[in-house]
Amino acid sequence: MSKPFYSRKLHILILLTIIFSLSACFSDKNGKIKLLHFSSDISSDATPFVLKELLDKENEGVSKITFEKGEYHFYPDKGLEKFCYISNHNDVVIKTAFPLSQMKGLTIDGQGATFVFHGKMIPFLIDGSTNIAIKNLSIDWEVPFHSEALIVANDLENKTFDLKIAKEYPYEIRNGQLYFIKESYEHNLGQAILYDPERRAIAYNTEDYTPLTIYNNLPNKNTKTAVAYKYKVDSHDPVQNRIAREYALRVEELEPGLVRVYNHRKKIPPVGKVLVCKGEQHANRLAPAIRITNTNGFNAKNVKVHHAGGMGLIAENSSDLILDRFDVTPSRGRMVSTTADATHFVGCRGRIELKKCIFKNQLDDATNVHGTYQEVVDVIDEFTIGVRMGHYQQQGFVIGKPKDKVGLVRLKNSFFPYDSLTIKSVQKLNSRYQKITFNESLPASLESGDLIENLSAYPEMLLVEDCIISNNRARGLLLSTPNETVIRNNFFSTEMEALLIPVESGHWFESGNGANISIIDNTFQDCNHSGYNRGVIRFVTDDDNHNIAFNNINIKGNTFNHFDNLILEVANTDGLVFQENVITNSKTFPKRHNQKSAFRLKSSRNIQFKKNTYEGDAETVVEVEGNMQKVEFN
């Protein structure tokens, strides 16, 4: 073998690696590496350099990783690939640059660096770790997973509108359908919504215009039943969902960068608004910025997420997650930050804190905290059941771990468990079907179709404090937290409810009953402006009955500056005090709904109003539905 000589034709990785290695490692007295530092020499593609060190067994036990301030690009080509089941996302084959697996006590300090990702990547993939901190860095994508286009003309008679598409959003038209071309990705006009470019927020009344009606049903639906299935089939699953439908819109290019959209069946969007789209749900949640599983202790401080093709942060089966100045905001003049929720917590325990965060312009909730309902489909032996996951984007989620207390729920009878068992083991056979063995024998009352929820896997305490939540699609906070929740001194301006507290069992199967919730000193500015007649704060269950789902709610000292009438919807609640709040008539937008009351109550008891100021102009302040006792507004 001849002596090594490195051809100039080869990439100059060697040289960079040497420079990097010399400056990278600082050891403790035992020779164990404690600190890794990356210089901006690696910025043209930092992925292989960061990965090399993170995967190097020599670096086990590293406690701090720092970056020289600068802009670092991360490409997927040399990234570590993982197949991930991600709750409320697609299950994806994805690359990462920061696989933080089985780590203990690691801080990544960007020192002000910006990390720009390319294509299908999850920047931080954190699993099975303890006490991980990320701070002082920004996460962005060079090419976003959504697209934006200005509506420059419309024709109300012929029901068309014209989109001006900037060259940052390359597109093409195939068989009359518009596709936006991204880095190894593309999307169509699915899940579109209007932004108001002046307010840089979701447009008033966008629900009249959007989403675009991209599908028509086919006249013959026999194909839906053409294949005989032995077991239950999820009609939302993309394989089933495409049956008996075809694309409805037709798009035509008038000139490069200018396209006309035909066949939209809702109102034709107005000129001057920005149409934002991200493609269809089943394909558009693939690259969250931070993904955390089975991790105890996570802290993000001064982290900016400018974009993600999915959520800003999705945590599952983890505990003690503190976000302090975790800002989700758009960059580069984009209307949109993340294409799904800013943050999302499934089956998480301990403390969850969101403090001094900004959650702006994301295309879904600021946060969503919940467990999962799973359906009992088999009794396998005296101790073991087979359960089925409900929603295709929650597939693969494992409901709990040994010793967890699992509630058996029959929602038509009660929102609370009729019995409970403790987990001995979970065998995940596939993403839909798992076997759960309990320490105790199954109760006689157990029936197929009952749900289970993990009673041990709700946060002990959720704190949302001093946050700004605005300009985003969907809700502010979507909470299924039965233990303790404090929502204090936040600003909300959301197109749907600011606070939604549901029992949801019909679509996403997100479990949990809201209880012990304090909502204090917040400002709610013109929420629900996209068109829904819903309470700014809303307690609601999928099951329409008189059972109690929610209790011990304290709403105090808040200001509701609201253009419309409806402030609060309460259902299935026992114990709610609404006190010392101020409701003003903001007149920001025209009133949208012929809604006579400001407060709508049903199937509830022990609801009190004390020392509030009402400056709105609803005909009736408090409306009570059904045979519920009348409640006075004070």
- Residues 446 to 465 in contact with a copy of itself, rule: CB under 8 A: 446-449
| Options 115, 145, 171, 614; binder of a copy of itself; rule CB under 8 A | 171
d(CA 567, CA 561): 10
User: 108 near 131, Cβ under 8 Å?
Assistant: no
User: 316 near 292, Cβ under 8 Å?
Assistant: yes
What part of residues 214-233 is at the interface with a copy of itself (CB under 8 A)? Answer: 218, 220, 222-223, 226-227, 229-231, 233
What part of residues 6-35 is at the interface with a copy of itself (CB under 8 A)? Answer: 6-7, 9-11, 13-14, 17
Structure token pair of residue 32: 């164990």
Least distance in Å: CB of 4 to a copy of itself? 5
d(CA 38, CA 513): 46
**CB neighbourhood size of 78 (10 A):** 15
Q: With CB under 8 A, what is the number of residues at the site for a copy of itself?
A: 90
* 3-state class (DSSP) for residue 204: coil
Query: Is position 307 an interface residue for a copy of itself (rule: CB under 8 A)?
Result: no
What part of residues 370-389 is at the interface with a copy of itself (CB under 8 A)? Answer: 376-382, 386
Hey, what amino acid is at 423?
I
Least distance in Å: CB of 37 to a copy of itself? 20
CB closer to a copy of itself, 4 vs 333: 4
What part of residues 338-377 is at the interface with a copy of itself (CB under 8 A)? Answer: 376-377
Choose one: 274-282, 324-332, 438-446, 487-495; the region binding a copy of itself (CB under 8 A): 438-446
Query: Is position 432 an interface residue for a copy of itself (rule: CB under 8 A)?
Result: yes
Least distance in Å: CB of 13 to a copy of itself? 5
Query: Is position 413 an interface residue for a copy of itself (rule: CB under 8 A)?
Result: no
CB closer to a copy of itself, 379 vs 520: 379
Structure token pair of residue 264: 């939209």
Per-position x/- string for 179-198, each x denoting binding to a copy of itself as judged by CB under 8 A, each - no binding: --xxxxxx------------
Give me the helix-helix angle, 13-24 and 47-54, nearest 10°: 50
CB closer to a copy of itself, 95 vs 488: 95
CB closer to a copy of itself, 90 vs 337: 90
CB closer to a copy of itself, 253 vs 324: 253
CB closer to a copy of itself, 382 vs 460: 382
**CB neighbourhood size of 174 (10 A):** 9
Least distance in Å: CB of 98 to a copy of itself? 14
d(CA 512, CA 398): 16
Least distance in Å: CB of 48 to a copy of itself? 8
What part of residues 85-144 is at the interface with a copy of itself (CB under 8 A)? Answer: 91, 93, 95, 118, 143
What part of residues 239-268 is at the interface with a copy of itself (CB under 8 A)? Answer: 239-240, 242-247
Least distance in Å: CB of 251 to a copy of itself? 12
Query: Which residues fall within 8 angstroms of residue 490, CB to CB, at 6 or more apart?
Result: 464, 465, 466, 467, 468, 469, 476, 522, 523
Least distance in Å: CB of 172 to a copy of itself? 4
| Options 398, 442, 457, 469; binder of a copy of itself; rule CB under 8 A | 442
Query: Is position 2 an interface residue for a copy of itself (rule: CB under 8 A)?
Result: yes
User: 466 near 197, Cβ under 8 Å?
Assistant: no
Tally the C-alpha atoms within 13 A of residue 278's C-alpha that lie toward its C-beta.
28
d(CA 296, CA 319): 5
Least distance in Å: CB of 24 to a copy of itself? 15
CB closer to a copy of itself, 43 vs 528: 43
- Nearest in space to 600 (alpha carbons), one of 633, 560, 575: 633
Element (H, E) at 19: helix 13-24
Least distance in Å: CB of 293 to a copy of itself? 16
Query: Which residues fall within 8 angstroms of residue 164, CB to CB, at 6 or more apart?
Result: 149, 150, 151, 152, 257, 258
CB closer to a copy of itself, 239 vs 271: 239
What part of residues 36-95 is at the interface with a copy of itself (CB under 8 A)? Answer: 44-45, 48, 51, 55, 73, 75-81, 83, 91, 93, 95
Least distance in Å: CB of 295 to a copy of itself? 22
d(CA 145, CA 182): 7
CB closer to a copy of itself, 440 vs 625: 440
* Burial class, 437, CB count within 10 angstroms (exposed 0-12 / middle 13-18 / buried 19+): middle
Handedness of CA 409, 411, 416, 419 (dihedral sign): negative
User: 212 near 261, Cβ under 8 Å?
Assistant: yes
Least distance in Å: CB of 274 to a copy of itself? 21
User: 566 near 593, Cβ under 8 Å?
Assistant: yes
User: 452 near 436, Cβ under 8 Å?
Assistant: yes
d(CA 432, CA 383): 20
What part of residues 526-585 is at the interface with a copy of itself (CB under 8 A)? Answer: none
